[in-house]
């Protein structure tokens, strides 16, 4: 009886083993299925990180290139200012000669002083000096136009080169914004396509343009640089303060030349030309002298109109002659102010005008005007736009000052642009049978039917499309100059670098503060948007 009973029980262990192995196989398959999706999510996120970092590197390199081009443009303007300075000095010396000639004529014509009396012989002395000054004036005039025309060449070429440099900087930026970042065939798409070549389903990986709205804001441009425009870069009408100060050697809108040396040069030249002698106590005294290069954006103290394109090469002073004759004297003229300046009036008539002024014997200011247009760009050739009017100061690529303002540092990050990339894996491309690990099932995780894990892969039981696996990443082009941490980001020093950052590094990317960048980046993935919304509502702070 016992033997017969044992035969009936034989095989129970095998049945239990088969059932156990089936459950283990099911658990392994479930684990592998979930694991594969986790692995693929990590791959997708890594791909998004690589894309965002590459976009930040491209942005940093472009900003560094623009900084170098801006420096070239400033160097061109330094050359222009130096040329204008030479014109101003030459014109000032000539104006002083005119003034000295007028003053000698006043002394010659003064009653009771001039007649030759056999002792002082003032008339002979004044006539000799006037002849010497006339000879110097004629010498200068004979060569002036030829040399002035020659120096106009580097001025015009320097301005043209500066305008062309701006055009190059603008093209660099537009290529970054339109072709590298926001283009359907740009950097993000290229990286994803190259990565997808090794996939069994290359079409499932895409770089949708859903982050373009974010990148367009971060890399936007404004023609008039309105602080309220929300645009990072100012084109054309950028504030001139930074490039002006860079050109002027950080000395501001105006800097004074070495007036003492220039005074001695002018005084010495006048005395040598007129045959005056310091041994006898004769002198050509230049007082109240000022020699400056001036860029103005408002009317200056001479009443000349202002404008961001205005450059003034201004020299002026008061000339006083002390003359002796045969031990007689000295006879002093009245103090006559002498002015000479060169400035650009192109905002009025598209041409530079050189004015040289002096006071004649009747105490009337005389003004000599050079031919217009010699030191300015002609109407039809104003780089880079080729339209009038042409100003002294070219356009510059510069940052919107409103973005660098510390008061909005959490919104604009001191003008350091955030580059956002989105990568998606569309499981619908595989279909339901092509992927052996794409196990479709719904698992209840609580007793309530409302709490369940849905791994159908395409749509939930409620019809929500969950087929797109979405990864979002952000990179930052940031400015850092070692040893100058307080220096604000700018486009004049090539110290831009790149790094990966949290999507929520600024207020626009922080959902808990109402930022919509993540929502916009997931615009074609409603399931991802719903996850972001729910996490934000629950107070989640770990946004990456």
pLDDT (tens digit, 9 = 90+) per residue, 245-265?
A: 777 765 555 555 566 677 888
Domain chopping of the chain, boundaries: 29-67+402-505, 74-398, 506-544
Q: What percent of the chain has pLDDT over 90?
A: 19
Least confident of 317-331, 334-348, 506-520: 334-348
Q: Give the pLDDT confidence score for residue 274 in this predicted structure.
A: 92
Q: What percent of the chain has pLDDT over 70?
A: 73
Q: Give the pLDDT confidence score for residue 252 in this predicted structure.
A: 55
Quote the CA–CA distance of 188 and 424 in Å, as a whole number.
12
* Residue 288 vs residue 74, higher pLDDT: 74
Residue 416 has pLDDT above 90, yes or no: yes
Quote the CA–CA distance of 519 and 530 in Å, as a whole number.
9
Beta-carbon contacts of 173 under 8 Å, excluding residues fewer than 6 positions away, are: 62, 66, 219, 221, 233, 397
Mean pLDDT of 128-147: 90
* Cα–Cα nearest to 215, from 67, 400, 52: 52
Torsion of CA 476, 479, 482, 484, to 10 degrees: -140
DSSP H helices, 310-452, are: 346-349, 401-404, 409-412
Radius of gyration of the chain (CA): 40
| Contact call for residues 509 and 503 (beta carbons, < 8 A) | yes
Q: Give the pLDDT confidence score for residue 475 in this predicted structure.
A: 95
The pLDDT tens digits for 169-206 are 999 999 998 888 888 888 999 999 998 887 888 888 99
Residue 383 has pLDDT above 60, yes or no: no
Q: Is 516 exposed, middle or buried (0-12, 13-18, 19+ CB in 10 A)?
A: middle
* Cα–Cα nearest to 162, from 237, 99, 76: 76
Q: Give the pLDDT confidence score for residue 423 in this predicted structure.
A: 93
Quote the CA–CA distance of 467 and 460 in Å, as a whole number.
9
Quote the CA–CA distance of 274 and 270 in Å, as a whole number.
6
| Contact call for residues 407 and 392 (beta carbons, < 8 A) | no
* Residue 313 vs residue 416, higher pLDDT: 416
Q: Using the 8-state DSSP alphabet, how is residue 119 labeled?
A: S
Q: How far is CA 491 from the centre of its chain?
A: 4
The pLDDT tens digits for 197-246 are 878 888 889 999 888 888 888 888 776 666 666 788 877 656 666 776 77
| Contact call for residues 76 and 161 (beta carbons, < 8 A) | yes
Torsion of CA 7, 13, 15, 21, to 10 degrees: -160
Quote the CA–CA distance of 157 and 154 in Å, as a whole number.
5
The pLDDT tens digits for 293-314 are 665 444 443 444 444 444 556 6
Question: What region, left, alpha or beta, does residue 356 occupy, with left being phi > 0 and alpha being psi -120 to 50 degrees?
Answer: beta
Q: Are strands 205-206 and 336-344 parallel, antiparallel or unpaired?
A: unpaired
Q: Give the pLDDT confidence score for residue 396 in this predicted structure.
A: 81
Q: Give the pLDDT confidence score for residue 400 in this predicted structure.
A: 83
Q: How far is CA 55 from the centre of its chain?
A: 19
Average confidence score pLDDT of the chain: 78
Quote the CA–CA distance of 230 and 412 in Å, as a whole number.
9
* Cα–Cα nearest to 475, from 419, 520, 518, 521: 419
pLDDT tier for residue 528 given thresholds of 50, 70 and 90: confident
Q: Give the pLDDT confidence score for residue 381 in this predicted structure.
A: 42
474 bridge partner residues: 420, 501
Q: Give the pLDDT confidence score for residue 104 in this predicted structure.
A: 87
Q: Give the pLDDT confidence score for residue 49 in this predicted structure.
A: 95
| Contact call for residues 357 and 141 (beta carbons, < 8 A) | no
What is the value of pTM for the model shown? 0.79
Quote the CA–CA distance of 232 and 52 in Å, as a whole number.
19
The pLDDT tens digits for 394-407 are 778 888 888 888 88
* Residue 332 vs residue 307, higher pLDDT: 332
Q: Give the pLDDT confidence score for residue 319 in this predicted structure.
A: 86
* Cα–Cα nearest to 132, from 263, 271, 328, 326: 271
The pLDDT tens digits for 430-467 are 766 556 666 666 666 665 555 666 666 677 666 677 78
Cis check: omega of the bond before 249, within 30 degrees of 0: no
Mean pLDDT of 492-512: 93
Quote the CA–CA distance of 436 and 453 in Å, as a whole number.
20
The pLDDT tens digits for 43-71 are 999 999 999 999 999 999 999 999 999 99
The full length of the chain comes to 544
* Cα–Cα nearest to 51, from 175, 215, 163: 215
DSSP H helices, 362-480, are: 401-404, 409-412
Q: Give the pLDDT confidence score for residue 256 in this predicted structure.
A: 55
């Amino acid at each position: 009886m016992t033997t017969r009973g044992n035969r009936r029980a034989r095989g129970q262990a095998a049945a239990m083993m088969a059932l156990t192995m089936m459950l283990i196989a099911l658990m392994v398959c479930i684990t592998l299925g979930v694991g594969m999706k986790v692995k693929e999510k990590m791959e997708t996120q890594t791909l998004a990180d690589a894309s965002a970092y590459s976009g930040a590197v491209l942005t940093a390199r472009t900003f560094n290139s623009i900084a170098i081009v801006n420096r070239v443009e400033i160097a061109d303007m330094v050359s222009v200012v130096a040329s204008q300075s030479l014109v101003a000095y030459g014109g000032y010396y000539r104006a002083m000669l005119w003034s000295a000639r007028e003053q000698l004529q006043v002394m010659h014509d003064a009653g009771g002083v001039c007649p030759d009396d056999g002792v002082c012989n003032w008339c002979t002395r004044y006539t000799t000096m006037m002849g010497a000054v006339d000879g110097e004036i004629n010498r200068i005039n004979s060569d002036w136009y030829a040399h002035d025309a020659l120096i106009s060449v580097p001025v015009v070429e320097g301005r043209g080169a500066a305008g062309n440099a701006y055009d190059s900087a603008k093209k660099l930026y537009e290529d970054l914004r339109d072709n590298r970042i926001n283009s359907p065939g740009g950097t993000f798409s290229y990286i994803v396509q190259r990565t997808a070549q090794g996939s069994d389903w290359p079409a499932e990986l895409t770089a949708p343009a859903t982050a373009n709205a974010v990148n367009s804001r971060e890399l936007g441009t404004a023609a008039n640089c309105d602080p309220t425009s929300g645009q990072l870069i100012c084109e054309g009408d950028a504030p001139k303060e930074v490039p002006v100060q860079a050109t002027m050697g950080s000395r501001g809108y105006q800097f004074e030349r070495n007036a003492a040396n220039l005074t001695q040069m002018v005084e010495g030249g006048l005395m040598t030309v007129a045959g005056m002698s310091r041994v006898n106590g004769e002198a050509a005294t230049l007082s109240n002298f000022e020699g400056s290069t001036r860029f103005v954006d408002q009317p200056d103290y001479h009443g000349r109109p202002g404008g961001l394109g205005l450059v003034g090469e201004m020299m002026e002073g008061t000339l006083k002659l002390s003359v002796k004759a045969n031990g007689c004297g000295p006879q002093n003229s009245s103090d006559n102010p002498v002015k000479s300046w060169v400035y650009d009036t192109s905002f009025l008539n598209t041409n530079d005008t050189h004015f040289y002024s002096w006071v004649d014997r009747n105490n009337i200011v005389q003004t000599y005007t050079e031919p217009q247009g010699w030191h300015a760009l002609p109407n039809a050739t104003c780089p880079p736009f080729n339209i009038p009017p042409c100003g002294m100061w070219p356009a510059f690529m510069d940052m919107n000052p409103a973005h660098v303002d510390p008061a909005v540092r959490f919104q604009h990050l001191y003008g350091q642009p955030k580059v956002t990339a989105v990568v998606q894996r569309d499981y619908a491309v595989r279909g339901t049978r092509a992927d052996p690990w794409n196990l479709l099932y719904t698992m209840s995780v609580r007793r309530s039917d409302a709490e369940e894990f849905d791994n159908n892969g395409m749509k939930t039981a409620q019809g929500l499309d969950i087929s797109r696996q979405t990864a979002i990443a952000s990179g930052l082009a940031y400015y850092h100059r070692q040893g100058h941490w307080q220096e604000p980001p700018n486009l004049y020093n090539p110290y831009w670098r790149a790094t990966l950052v949290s999507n929520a590094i600024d207020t626009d990317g922080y959902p808990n503060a109402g930022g919509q960048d993540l929502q916009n980046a997931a615009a074609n993935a409603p399931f991802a948007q719903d996850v972001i919304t729910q996490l934000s509502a629950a107070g989640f702070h770990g946004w990456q």
